[in-house]
A and B are shown apart, each in its own frame.
Chain A
C-alpha cells in the first residue's frame, strides 16, 4: 500500500480532518491538530496498517506555524507514512501520542525543550537536553542567544 492508498483510508474514516499532499520527494498527510490522536490510534490499531514504529518525531519552525512531523513505519507491512500537524504559534499545544508509541515520550520532551511546543497529556513534560533553568527554546528561528549563563559570559 502506498501513501496515497493510506491517505484514502484516512480520508474515508476522518473526512475533512485529513488532507493528502502529493509532493514528489516526500508526500505527506496533513492532519488537523485536534484529530491527531484518533488518526494515530487508527494507524496503529488497524491490523492491515499496523504502524508500530515511530521512526522520528520532530518539529519545524515555519513563519506561519510550528509543524510537527511524524515519520511512521509499519514493521509488519513495510509501509511508510508521514503525518504533519500544524500548530499555531500563539497557542503551541498538541495532544501527546506517548500512549500510542512509547518512543514519543523522549521525542516530545525534546520538541518541548527546543521549540517550546507543549504536549497535552504527556506524563513528564520537562526539559531533556538543556538545563532546567534555561530560558527560551533554541531551535526557534527567533531565538535570542543569551549573553551570559549564571553570570558566565558565553
Chain B
C-alpha cells in the first residue's frame, strides 16, 4: 500500500516536471500558399501548440482579379465569360445564376426548352464538381485511387460539355435569355449512358471509400459544425445540409424548372460519428450525385422541343433598378446583386460567393484539432479559391 502511494507521488512529480519541460512557446506555421489541401492558392497561418492547432488565420486574396470592378466596365453580355471564372468547377451553375439575375432585372421570359437544358447542364456540372471533391478528399486522406476514379467519370461529363459548347472547363454556354446552342445530335443518348454508368460507379465509390474503415476513422467526428453556427456564419450548400439543416434553394426557393423535378435533399445524419462532421459533409455530396442523376434522367425524358433563346438585343439595356438573386451551386448559395442605372453596363455588381462564407467558419471550428486533421477539415469544406477571391 505504502509502496503504491510512493509510486503515485513519484509519477505525479515526474509528470509535472515533464509538463514544465514540454510546454514551450507556441509556434506559427505557414500552411500554403501551395498545399495539397487547397484547390487554389490559400495561405493559412496556424498558431500551434505542438501538434494542436490553437488558431487559424486564413489569408485570402491571392486570386483577386477585381471581377466586380471589371463588371462595371463591361456590358451585361460581356460579363458572362467572367462568371465561368468565379467557380471554375461549377461554371455552368455560375453562368445560370448570373443569367437568372439579369433576366429578373429585365423581366425576360426564358423558353421552356432552354430552361430544361440549363437544369441539365447545371446538374451535370454539380456531379462533375462533386466527383472532383471525391477525388481530392481521397487524396487528403492518403488514398490516390479515388482521384483516378473520380476523374474517369468526370471525363464523360466534360465530353458531354465539349460536344455541346466546345469547352471543357469554362463553358460560357448559358446566355441571358437562354443558351448559346441547342443540344447536339446524340447528346441525349450519351447522357443516358452516363447516368447508367454513374449509378453503378457510385456503389463502387461507397465500397472503395465511403465505408472504408480507415477513411471513416480519418473523417468521423472531425471538424463538427453545429447548425446554429453554420447559419450564423452564412455557411450554405452541402456543408450546411451536412449539419442537419434541410435547406436547398432548388426546393425551398425553387427556380427554373426544379419544381417539376422529383428529387430528395440529403442531409447529414451522423451515421458514423457526429452530425456535421467531415464524413457527413463528404457523404452528403455523394448522395447529391445520386439525386442529380435522378434529375438528369427526368430532364432527358421530359425535355420539350422549341426555342432555346429568348430575343435579347445586342444593345441590351435593362431598366434602372436592383435585384438580388441566389442559386444553389455545388458549393452553396451563389448570389448576384446587380444595381442597374439603365445603361448598358451594371452600375454595381456584387458576387456573394458561397466558399467565402464557408471558409470564414473554418477558424471557428478548427480550434483544438490536430494539424493532420485540419487538412481533412478544410478539405471537407470543398472550397474553391477563385470564388473566394473573385
- A61 contacts which chain B residues (CB < 8 A)? 348
- Residue in A78, A129, A143 with the greatest tally of chain B CB atoms within 10 Å: A129
- The reply on B35 being an interface residue by CB < 8 A is no
Q: A69-99: which have CB < 8 Å to B?
A: 69, 71, 75, 78, 82
Binds A, one of B39-47, B191-199, B229-237, B367-375: B229-237
- The reply on B16 being an interface residue by CB < 8 A is no
| Interface mask (A132-154 → B, CB under 8 Å = 1, otherwise 0) | 00000011000100000000000
Binds B, one of A11-19, A32-40, A101-109: A101-109
- A71 contacts which chain B residues (CB < 8 A)? 324, 335, 337
- B345 contacts which chain A residues (CB < 8 A)? none
- The reply on A65 being an interface residue by CB < 8 A is no
- The reply on A3 being an interface residue by CB < 8 A is no
Q: Are A82 and B324 interface neighbours, CB within 8 A?
A: yes
How many Å lie between the Cα of A78 and that of B333 in the bound state? 15
Q: A31-67: which have CB < 8 Å to B?
A: 52-56, 58, 60-61
- The reply on B313 being an interface residue by CB < 8 A is no
Q: Are A23 and B321 interface neighbours, CB within 8 A?
A: yes
Q: Are B356 and A26 interface neighbours, CB within 8 A?
A: no
- Residue in B66, B324, B347 with the greatest tally of chain A CB atoms within 10 Å: B324
Query: Smallest CB–CB gap between B229 and chain A, Å?
Result: 8
Q: Are B357 and A103 interface neighbours, CB within 8 A?
A: yes
Chain A residue with minimal CB distance to B359? A106
Which of A26, A102, A127, A130 makes the CB contact (< 8 A) with B233? A102
Which of B68, B104, B234, B247 makes the CB contact (< 8 A) with A55? B234
How many Å lie between the Cα of A38 and that of B260 in the bound state? 42
Given contact pairs A26-B321, A55-B326, A55-B352, A105 touches B360 in the complex (Cβ within 8 A): yes
Which of B68, B229, B361 makes the CB contact (< 8 A) with A139? B68
User: How many chain B residues touch the partner (CB < 8 A)?
Assistant: 36
Given contact pairs A129-B61, A138-B69, A103 touches B352 in the complex (Cβ within 8 A): no
Chain B residue with minimal CB distance to A140? B69
Q: Are B231 and A128 interface neighbours, CB within 8 A?
A: no
- The reply on B105 being an interface residue by CB < 8 A is yes
| Interface mask (B59-82 → A, CB under 8 Å = 1, otherwise 0) | 011001010110000000000000
- The reply on B290 being an interface residue by CB < 8 A is no
Q: Are B231 and A56 interface neighbours, CB within 8 A?
A: no
How many Å lie between the Cα of A69 and that of B348 in the bound state? 12
- A52 contacts which chain B residues (CB < 8 A)? 231-232
- The reply on A131 being an interface residue by CB < 8 A is yes
Q: Are A130 and B352 interface neighbours, CB within 8 A?
A: no
Which of B324, B348, B389 makes the CB contact (< 8 A) with A56? B324
How many Å lie between the Cα of A23 and that of B319 in the bound state? 13
Q: Are B324 and A103 interface neighbours, CB within 8 A?
A: no
How many Å lie between the Cα of A65 and that of B70 in the bound state? 22
- B323 contacts which chain A residues (CB < 8 A)? 25-26
Given contact pairs A71-B337, A103-B234, A60 touches B360 in the complex (Cβ within 8 A): no
- B350 contacts which chain A residues (CB < 8 A)? 56, 58
Q: B152-191: which have CB < 8 Å to A?
A: none
Which of A56, A60, A129, A139 makes the CB contact (< 8 A) with B352? A56
Query: Smallest CB–CB gap between B25 and chain A, Å?
Result: 23
How many Å lie between the Cα of A108 and that of B233 in the bound state? 13
Which residues of chain A have a CB within 8 Å of any CB of chain B? Answer: 23-26, 52-56, 58, 60-61, 69, 71, 75, 78, 82, 101-103, 105-106, 114, 127-131, 138-139, 143
The 4 closest A-B pairs by CB, nearest first: A103-B234, A129-B61, A56-B352, A58-B350
Can you list 14 A-B pairs with a CB-CB distance of less than 8 A? A25-B321, A53-B234, A55-B326, A55-B352, A56-B350, A58-B350, A71-B335, A71-B337, A103-B232, A103-B234, A103-B357, A106-B360, A114-B68, A129-B389
Q: A55-B352, A102-B360 are in contact. List 17 more A-B contacts (CB 8 A).
A: A23-B321, A24-B321, A25-B104, A25-B105, A26-B321, A54-B234, A56-B337, A60-B339, A71-B335, A71-B337, A103-B233, A103-B234, A105-B360, A106-B360, A127-B61, A128-B61, A129-B389
